[in-house]
A and B are shown apart, each in its own frame.
Chain A
Amino acid sequence: MEIPYTVTARPDTGLWNAKIGIWLFLASEIMLFGGLFSAYVFLRIGADAANPWPHGLLNVPVGTFNTFVLISSSMTMVMAWASLKMRKFAQYRIYMGLTILCALAFLCVKAYEYNDKFHHYGVWLKNGEFITGHLEENTPESLTILPDIHHEGRHFWPETEHGAPREIKKADIRRWSNFTPKFSPFFAIYFTLTGLHGLHVFGGMVVNIYFWLPGSKLYRTNPEHLANRVEVSGLFWHFVDLVWIFLFPVLYLL
């Protein structure tokens, strides 16, 4: 028993099975990220005086670089598929390898960004003052913070200057935390959205590695089938890129 239309299209729909499957899957992904984006909108509209929506907390040059990386990977992905369609296997191997490399680079940059945030702290004092900076020392009675120095206006390059160490009594602190999800609604949605997106990048990368190495054996027996499979993983990959195209301005720039 063979399931029909795995490689060739069904005449009346003009589609092979996996193409319908992946588009349906992407439709549900639209709703998944749609749910999170609508949460973002909801939280942002509802931001109150205690938690004003922050601007410029993320590293824009790094984010821009990562956007370039992901866009390039999308281009190499579509080229990998086109190479298979033109039956140029060596070229496919190169482009697919580049796609995987880009995915890896993206994840590494993301890890660097996360790590950077985890080492940044924010302190709310009971008198209403709010200080961010690097943690120098943490004793049971007090914190020592190297406070960030903020200049007027918005800056492309992140501000890395620090003021003189400042000791803060724990008794004066209302709440303090590093820049983790629990820090504020902004970081909550930032880490959730980018974390989920990162998982998608990782998943796509694993699938691509499979089609790059063991899965590419299929080329010898049925090159069209391999091309179809790569098209499917490509559709997923472009979708991941597409989500990032929205994530980048929404989280980094606005």
Chain B
Amino acid sequence: MEISASPAHVHHGEEHAHEHHDPGFLGKYVFSTDHKVIGVQYGVTGLIFLFFGFCLMLLMRWQLAYHGQPLPVLGPVLAKIFPKEMPGGVMTPEFYNSLGAMHGTIMVFLGIVPIAFAAFGNFVVPLQIGAPDMTFPRINMASYQAFFIGGVIMLVSFFCPGGAAKGGWTSYAPLADITDRAPNMFFTGQTMWLIGMVFLITSSLLGSVNFITTIIQLRAPGMTWMRLPFFCWAQLITAFLLLLAFPPLEAASVMQLMDRVAGTSFFLPTGLVVNGEIVNISGGGSPLLWQHLFWFLGHPEVYVLILPAMGIVAEVVANNTRKPLWGYKAAVFSALTLGFLSFIVWAHHMYLTGMGARVSSFFQTTTILISIPSVIILTALLLSLWGGSIRFTVPMLFATAFMPMFGIGGLTGIPLAFNAVVLYLHDTYYVIAHFHYIVAPGTIFALFAGVYYWFPKATGRMMNEFLGKLHFWPSLLFINGIFMPMFLQGMAGVHRRWYDGGASYDLAKPVLHWNAFMSWSAWLLCVSQFPFILNFFWSIWFGKKVDHNPWHATTLEWEAPSPPPHGNFLKPPVVHRGPYEYSVPGSEDDFIPQGKA
């Protein structure tokens, strides 16, 4: 149990250059214990995984729109790398399933959570609360390393015999238990998926312990709970969700691992028949058990994805409307309520499992309840715009787009709370559209807002505004082009796992033409990410140099130099006021920093 790091030297900004021991490249960028470096590591790795997961979906969209046709350009290449999965550049159903499962897994566990929680949390939270670093820097480093190993295992699983996991990102048993029955069950995609998950869960566990302790213990003098920026509140609650919701999935992963490797029947019922033969297992398990344990994580996970995004949007909105955040306290208490309720809604994913009417009614009620705090937070953000003199900077564009997008995602979720409606809509594209509106144009847009907003803090340089707008407007257009038609397809009954996009089903005929439209939107969305990639790298070296507070923001991170040195602040910060004191009547500037006496 590593308790503290005790650096041999006391670091201060000016002395830094004269340090005797130079940590070297490895110590500085790879095995760093500095929260800012770890945050950037998480961010860059997360963005790469996000793009990779996005590319998997682009391949799937080809199959959905032009099923059975060889993939142009990339087809021959993929046929070389995956001769069995992509013979002649045509996708097999198994490979399609792998892509689907891995798209979900990578986007959620390797893309959004690491960026929203670990990257922004690591980089911003200690700065915002006025701390020199995280409480347990070495555990922090271990957290990133566990994440990295988990990610590599997930990628390697594509090259296992039989390909990567194909049981969906939810890995439902018994399918996930019995898939890829190979002589060596260890080197199969699903087993690798489980081992990867154990690493990722360990990583978030270490991260969340660190976050909570840091926020409780290392707040600067005067940083009372109600002076804490909303972003820090969001991260604190997210950390609790990860801390308490992930372990049951870790338990479930271990059990599924036992099912696959040791031949147990945790999730396999008695008398299971596969391919017309009774499987030689003890039986006596229950597939429902996996679903319970999975969704006990799965639903709080949704709020892990959305709460940090709300936090980022709150910061950006307050800064760019030059107004205090409307209803800060209401938003904080709503976020707390949200965190609490998110633990008792999980079985609304399981209405169709036959778990019974009583349980369904319970979860239906709690699910409707949880929409209230979500709406309060969104309302607070929306009303913050009222009467503000809004600066439409690039982060603000993304933050304002977040609100209606998240609104669409949230409101379309309400019908899904009722088990009678789910009988019809379950596993259709309607569900896909609903949660993608929350996490894609919702959370990911908020993440982009965060990248544009804190980029000058991390590098000391601004990102280019024109390229930023060139990134934003096409992205907003095309992302709606992908997901809006999915509502139509879903209401027509198109199932989410149809490998040919519904071509072999009569009921899908009237909405089939949308497939090509959505696919082209997806590919164009990919093209519209290039301004961002270009902008990101170009700005690191050639962006406009700015001082420590280019946005004229109030929170503490903007009082540290850009980029902040090891140890963050030149002099220990003291907090004198709330986080959003913009346009205070009678003050000379339109903002008063938290640290200003």
Direct contact of A and B (CB under 8 A): yes
* B567-A1 in contact (CB<8A): yes
Partner of A35, one of B4, B282, B285, B293: B293
CB under 8 Å from chain B, chain A span 1-27: 1-7, 10, 13, 15, 17-18, 20-22, 24-25, 27
Nearest residue (CB) in A for B253 is A35
> How far, in angstroms, from A3 to B11 measured CA to CA in the complex?
12
What is the size, in residues, of chain A's interface with B at 8 Å between Cβ atoms? 56
> How far, in angstroms, from A34 to B243 measured CA to CA in the complex?
13
Does B284 reach chain A (CB closer than 8 Å)?
yes
Partner of A28, one of B205, B288, B293: B205
Does A207 reach chain B (CB closer than 8 Å)?
yes
* B136-A1 in contact (CB<8A): no
Nearest Cβ on chain A to B208's Cβ, whole angstroms: 7
Nearest residue (CB) in A for B280 is A175
> How far, in angstroms, from A233 to B2 measured CA to CA in the complex?
10
Interface string of B238-270 (1 = CB under 8 A from A): 000001111111111011001000111110001
**Interface 9-mer from B69-77, B212-220, B519-527:** B212-220
A188-B1 contact, Cβ under 8 Å, with A20-B212, A24-B212, A35-B247: no
Partner of B6, one of A6, A17, A32, A228: A6
A192-B1 contact, Cβ under 8 Å, with A2-B6, A184-B284: no
A36-B213 contact, Cβ under 8 Å, with A51-B282, A175-B280: no
> How far, in angstroms, from A192 to B267 measured CA to CA in the complex?
14
Nearest Cβ on chain A to B265's Cβ, whole angstroms: 6
Does B209 reach chain A (CB closer than 8 Å)?
yes
Give the residues in chain B near A183, CB-CB below 8 Å: 282
Nearest residue (CB) in A for B212 is A24
Give the interface size class of chain B.
35 or more
* B264-A182 in contact (CB<8A): yes
Does A165 reach chain B (CB closer than 8 Å)?
no
Does A61 reach chain B (CB closer than 8 Å)?
no
Nearest Cβ on chain A to B373's Cβ, whole angstroms: 23
Does A246 reach chain B (CB closer than 8 Å)?
no
* B5-A3 in contact (CB<8A): yes
Does A164 reach chain B (CB closer than 8 Å)?
no
Give the residues in chain A near B421, CB-CB below 8 Å: none
Nearest residue (CB) in A for B206 is A25
Does A47 reach chain B (CB closer than 8 Å)?
yes
Does B581 reach chain A (CB closer than 8 Å)?
no
* A236-B284 in contact (CB<8A): no
Give the residues in chain B near A207, CB-CB below 8 Å: 1
Nearest Cβ on chain B to A196's Cβ, whole angstroms: 7
* B266-A21 in contact (CB<8A): no
Does B179 reach chain A (CB closer than 8 Å)?
no
Nearest Cβ on chain A to B354's Cβ, whole angstroms: 13
Nearest Cβ on chain B to A186's Cβ, whole angstroms: 9
Q: Which of B7, B249, B266, B281 counts the most chain A CB atoms within 10 A?
A: B266
Give the residues in chain A near B289, CB-CB below 8 Å: 39, 42-43
Nearest residue (CB) in B for A204 is B1
* A13-B216 in contact (CB<8A): yes
Give the residues in chain B near A18, CB-CB below 8 Å: 1, 3-4, 136
> How far, in angstroms, from A230 to B548 measured CA to CA in the complex?
43
Does A144 reach chain B (CB closer than 8 Å)?
no
Nearest residue (CB) in A for B12 is A1
* B284-A1 in contact (CB<8A): no
Partner of A182, one of B1, B263, B286: B263
* B217-A17 in contact (CB<8A): yes
Partner of A21, one of B213, B246, B250: B213
Nearest Cβ on chain B to A187's Cβ, whole angstroms: 8
* B209-A21 in contact (CB<8A): yes
> How far, in angstroms, from A185 to B205 measured CA to CA in the complex?
29
> How far, in angstroms, from A27 to B136 measured CA to CA in the complex?
18
Give the residues in chain A near B3, CB-CB below 8 Å: 6, 17-18, 21, 225, 228-229, 232
Does A46 reach chain B (CB closer than 8 Å)?
yes
CB under 8 Å from chain A, chain B span 255-314: 255, 258, 262-266, 270-271, 280-286, 288-289, 292-293, 296
Give the residues in chain A near B567, CB-CB below 8 Å: 1
Give the residues in chain A near B217, CB-CB below 8 Å: 4-5, 10, 13, 15, 17, 20
* A28-B285 in contact (CB<8A): no
A192-B243 contact, Cβ under 8 Å, with A3-B5, A22-B1, A185-B285: no
* B284-A35 in contact (CB<8A): no
Partner of A39, one of B212, B247, B251: B251
> How far, in angstroms, from A30 to B288 measured CA to CA in the complex?
22
Nearest residue (CB) in B for A175 is B280
Give the residues in chain A near B11, CB-CB below 8 Å: 1
Q: Which of A4, A39, A51 counts the most chain B CB atoms within 10 A?
A: A39
A2-B1 contact, Cβ under 8 Å, with A43-B289, A51-B282, A182-B265: no
Nearest Cβ on chain A to B202's Cβ, whole angstroms: 10
A31-B247 contact, Cβ under 8 Å, with A43-B266, A50-B283: yes
Partner of B250, one of A2, A10, A30, A32: A32
Does B10 reach chain A (CB closer than 8 Å)?
yes
Nearest residue (CB) in B for A36 is B251
Give the residues in chain B near A46, CB-CB below 8 Å: 284, 286
> How far, in angstroms, from A72 to B284 measured CA to CA in the complex?
37
Give the residues in chain B near A148, CB-CB below 8 Å: none
> How far, in angstroms, from A22 to B246 measured CA to CA in the complex?
17
Give the residues in chain B near A13, CB-CB below 8 Å: 216-217
* A32-B1 in contact (CB<8A): no
Nearest Cβ on chain A to B394's Cβ, whole angstroms: 33
A28-B258 contact, Cβ under 8 Å, with A2-B6, A6-B3, A50-B271: no
Does B67 reach chain A (CB closer than 8 Å)?
no
Does B137 reach chain A (CB closer than 8 Å)?
yes
Nearest Cβ on chain B to A87's Cβ, whole angstroms: 19
* B208-A32 in contact (CB<8A): no
A185-B284 contact, Cβ under 8 Å, with A28-B205, A35-B247: yes
Q: Which of A20, A35, A196, A228 counts the most chain B CB atoms within 10 A?
A: A35
- 18 residue pairs bridging A and B, Cβ less than 8 Å apart: A1-B10, A2-B132, A6-B3, A6-B6, A21-B210, A25-B209, A32-B251, A34-B248, A36-B251, A38-B293, A39-B252, A47-B284, A51-B270, A182-B281, A191-B262, A192-B264, A229-B1, A236-B1
Minimum-distance CB pairs A-B, first 7: A51-B284, A35-B251, A1-B567, A182-B263, A35-B248, A188-B264, A6-B4
11 more contacts with CB within 8 A, not counting A1-B12, A28-B244, A42-B289, are: A1-B10, A3-B4, A13-B217, A18-B136, A31-B244, A39-B255, A39-B266, A42-B286, A48-B270, A50-B284, A181-B263
Residues on A close to B: CB < 8 A? Answer: 1-7, 10, 13, 15, 17-18, 20-22, 24-25, 27-36, 38-39, 42-43, 46-48, 50-51, 175, 177, 180-185, 188-189, 191-192, 196, 207, 225, 228-229, 232-233, 236
